[in-house]
A and B are shown apart, each in its own frame.
Chain A
Amino acid sequence: MSSHYEAPIRKPLIIGDKNYHDVTVDVARPVEGRANKQWWIAFSIALAAFLWGVGCVAYTVGTGIGTWGSNKTIGWAWDITNFVWWVGIGHAGTLISAVLLLFRQKWRMAINRSAEAMTIFSVIQAAMFPVFHMGRPWLAYWVMPIPNQFGSLWVNFNSPLLWDVFAISTYLSVSLVFWWTGLLPDFAMLRDRAITPFTKRVYSIVSFGWSGRAKDWQRFEEVSLVLAGLATPLVLSVHTIVSFDFATSVIPGWHTTILPPYFVAGAIFSGFAMVNTLLIIMRKVSNLEAYITIQHIELMNIIIMITGSIVGIAYITELFVAWYSGVEYEQYAFLNRATGPYWWSYALMMTCNVISPQVMWFKKIRTSIYVSFVISIVVNIGMWFERFVIIVTSLHRDYLPSSWTMFQPTFVDAGFFIGTIGFFFVLFLLYSRSFPVIAQAEVKSIMKTSSETYKKKWASEGHGHDNHSHSENNHH
């Protein structure tokens, strides 16, 4: 990997006087300790929401899709909005673990584990919508090209909804493998520290007999790099394919070529916001402030700012081209977004997505934990509305005025959504108590270049500060 020398202007990524053992202890503490009352309260709330969602889904499947607010004009509404929203959130995990690995961003090491967990849990939520928004979900297996007794009746590979099936299932599988591979050394650490036979047994099984030999590490690194190289195009293509659901259509407001990269940018934007939300809480409740520092939060804020700006550019591009195209349907679609009956959702989306991330240009704001937390939630609200606006406002008024209508969600729509939020937090809360939430093996690998302890040591020894002597010492 990269050299061991690090410029003195870089700020430490591990704060406090930490050594290797401290990292182990700090990471293992939440797993080895017992859950406190707050955890149980949070878990109960999440579980209740989840069970409520299960009830709503059962009701939908048992009674029919007509229990939802969708209608003959607006066939897709909250279902696909939530689907795209959850998939989008999932993207930051892969981005942090794969793209930031390719760019050798050392700061990713403290956050990649949780970001990947978030990916997997949110893709699971996302995957429920394509199944349960079907009229006949029990025939969902028909989307698979399986040889059968209908004269081998096949699927049509021209539909982006089928591409979605492949994209999401591949994405979930690859993310899961990527995540688990990275977990092996950390599970092994928990295994080696376990004091009860039960935990010893569990962590022995999940750590796959990792013994940390040089050859294992060498292959481990290579696999991570290959998977990162594969996951990066995967993350782009998955959300691209999700965007194709809309962009391949002929609906004004949907059919636009910018959707693929713009959806990806939006996914990174909302995904990072969600990581920020979760980690700001986690660093506090799990006492990981030494590893998830203000600098980490600041850097995530900067990414939110950049992707927010890209999304802003895309909004303006769409508006401009709608005017420039001279197509009255396109022009009306955007006029309707801005001034139609759903103007408030458009205004909300614009405010949350375009304006709110711009405050991050001020260092005072982007290094403030409270503001970051608020903005991260604001961004996710905005990104939910972005998908809602794209889907519903384009459908409710299109070519024929005689089919113009409105959309009103029912409690079942909302219940399903709340259920997925509950399920997500059930999984995440369980994860945070049983998994090493920080990739301790990786964090240890940057100890000598990026921890406060070593940086101080070098500064006092004159390493790095005096660049010339340093280069002379090391160059030959």
Chain B
Amino acid sequence: MYTFSSRLKTFAFVLMVLGILGIGYSFFTAPKTIEDVEKIVAEEQAHGHHGDAHAAPAHDAHGSAKEEHNAEAHAAPAEKPADTAHAVAVDSAHKTTDSVHAEAVVAAGHEGHDHDAHEGHEAHAEAAHGHDDAHAAHDEHHKHMEHMLHQLQNKPWSAVYVAALFCMLISLGALAFYAIQNAASAGWSPVLFRVMEAISAYLVPGAIIVYVLLVLGALDMHHIFIWMDEKVVAHDHLIQAKSGYLNKTFFLIRAALFMGGWILYRQYARKNSLAQDESNDNSYYKKNFKASAGFLVFFIVTESIMSWDWIMSVDPHWYSTLFGWYVFASFFVSGITTIAMITLYLKSKGYLEYVNTSHIHDLAKFMFGISVFWTYLWFSQFMLIWYADIPEEVTYFKTRIEDYNLPFFGMVAMNFVFPVLILINTDFKRLSWIVVTAGTVILAGHYIDFFNMIMPATVGNQWFIGAGEIGAILFFMGLFIFVVFTALTKAPLLAKRNPLIEESKHFHY
């Protein structure tokens, strides 16, 4: 039996406390009113962060960007939805003016959602013609500040949401891997089953936390999902057309069903796995085999829908058919990496008698292979949208490349280049420190992947990895460690009577 070392337990608590402090700090320092935002902007200006962003000539530049916007909007085919025109405008605006002011244009596109196609045209025409008009300029300024306020208020929420979702999905990824191992009658992995089961134990608290965050969104406590904001929807005919799917009730019911299904399988499989230890026949093993096959069917369907709901819908105007599988690859490889890292930790403490370097080698091969698979899906999605360059799709990558350049391309280096180069070597895949190093980079890289998926829609170019983000990571890491290692103490670390356990114990590659 495993005993949770008090040092590790303390470490987990320290992480949680530090995390709460960071999260609390970020909520506390988030601006409450437009005046606060103006203060922040003024401070930044004093520090020279944004240079002459708010100087008078910049306003002129802004005006000319508007004019161009207007021209572009009219040039766009009439049947195109308003946001397409906006997208083109954002594009040109970015080229002609500095980023803060371009943001105002984005604000016009993003928030508003407050005007439909015709209104939008009119409003912009006004802005363009009357850019000398002080009143219009003031109005624009006000809107910009309001938009920034929303983004800055979203920041701590998004930080918590990204970390909560990522940790829960790691656990779900490990569970999917476990189900595959069961359904495939894998002969190498049964000695790792208890580790996988323990990691999946986090699914219960993790899913509850994510669910609470979704409910808080539905209660208008945060604005991660702008389609939940009735004022936004009232003026956005594109979201209105999706409201049959994107509505709070259905959204929450779906989430509850999916999470409930996953947790149900997890608890059932764990119960059978423990019962098999004490059994005289293979009936529990067979039950798990069937349950795993059933779960995988449920999983492939719910996983796709989950990714549309909880991730894709933060950009409710954007869509991609590949998205669900892309998200899957991201958390699946993270789940496998976590299995490898926890196995190595337990092995180093002398707990996993039968785990040898061949098992680690196999896990590292999966880390390698699924990293390549993730990159394949990332590239396919990115390249196809980049290649066809259809405006309503391409805005997704434009904002990411312009505002999130380093995280966007940095994650490709972390999730692909580094693991592929280091894990291609057979001898390396058997070295603990290499696997841990690669694993750390992979986990960090996929956190950034989720960061890139959520943040551009919720905080825009106001992103920053600061106290809130790091605090959220630390808190959920602490909670994850606490839950997983507590679960490890509940059962022997070797599944005794699994019919494939002997193969697994003697596994050498």
Contacts and interface: CB of A to CB of B under 8 A. Distances in A.
Nearest to A260: B380
B388 to A, nearest CB: 5
Given A257-B384, A326-B81, A3 B507 contact: yes
Interface string A80-92: 0000000000000
A136 B503 CA distance: 60
Interface residues on A, range: 35 or more
Contact of A310 (B300, B323, B499, B500): B300
B2 interface: no
Overall SS of chain B's interface: helix
B392 interface: yes
Contacts of A327: 392
A19 interface: no
B509 interface: yes
Nearest to B507: A3
Contacts of B325: 258, 261
Contacts of A216: none
A470 B502 contact: yes
Interface string B278-320: 0000100000000000000100110010001000000000011
Given A5-B502, A250-B388, A326-B242, A309 B297 contact: yes
Interface string A363-398: 000000000000000000000000000000000000
Contact of B384 (A3, A5, A6, A255): A255
A471 B506 CA distance: 8
B312 to A, nearest CB: 9
Chain B contact residues (Cβ within 8 angstroms of A): what range?
Answer: 35 or more
B372 interface: yes
A341 interface: no
Contact of A313 (B300, B385, B507): B300
Given A5-B506, A313-B304, A317-B304, A244 B187 contact: no
A325 interface: yes
B271 interface: no
A6 B188 CA distance: 11
A248 B242 contact: no
Contacts of B387: 248
Nearest to A232: B369
Nearest to A160: B387
A475 B502 CA distance: 10
B359 to A, nearest CB: 12
B268 interface: no
Contacts of A240: 376, 380
Contacts of B253: none
A258 B502 contact: no
A2 B388 CA distance: 47
Contacts of A6: 187, 503
A42 interface: no
B390 A250 contact: yes
Contacts of B245: 324
Interface in A312-327: 313-314, 317-318, 320-321, 324-327
A408 interface: no
Contacts of A237: 376
Q: Give 9 closest A-B pairs by Cβ, nearest first.
A: A258-B321, A257-B322, A260-B380, A3-B506, A248-B387, A9-B499, A258-B322, A256-B321, A257-B381
12 contacts: A2-B508, A6-B503, A233-B376, A255-B388, A255-B390, A256-B321, A257-B320, A260-B322, A260-B376, A309-B300, A471-B502, A474-B506
Given A233-B376, A470-B502, 5 more contacts: A3-B507, A7-B187, A9-B500, A247-B384, A257-B322
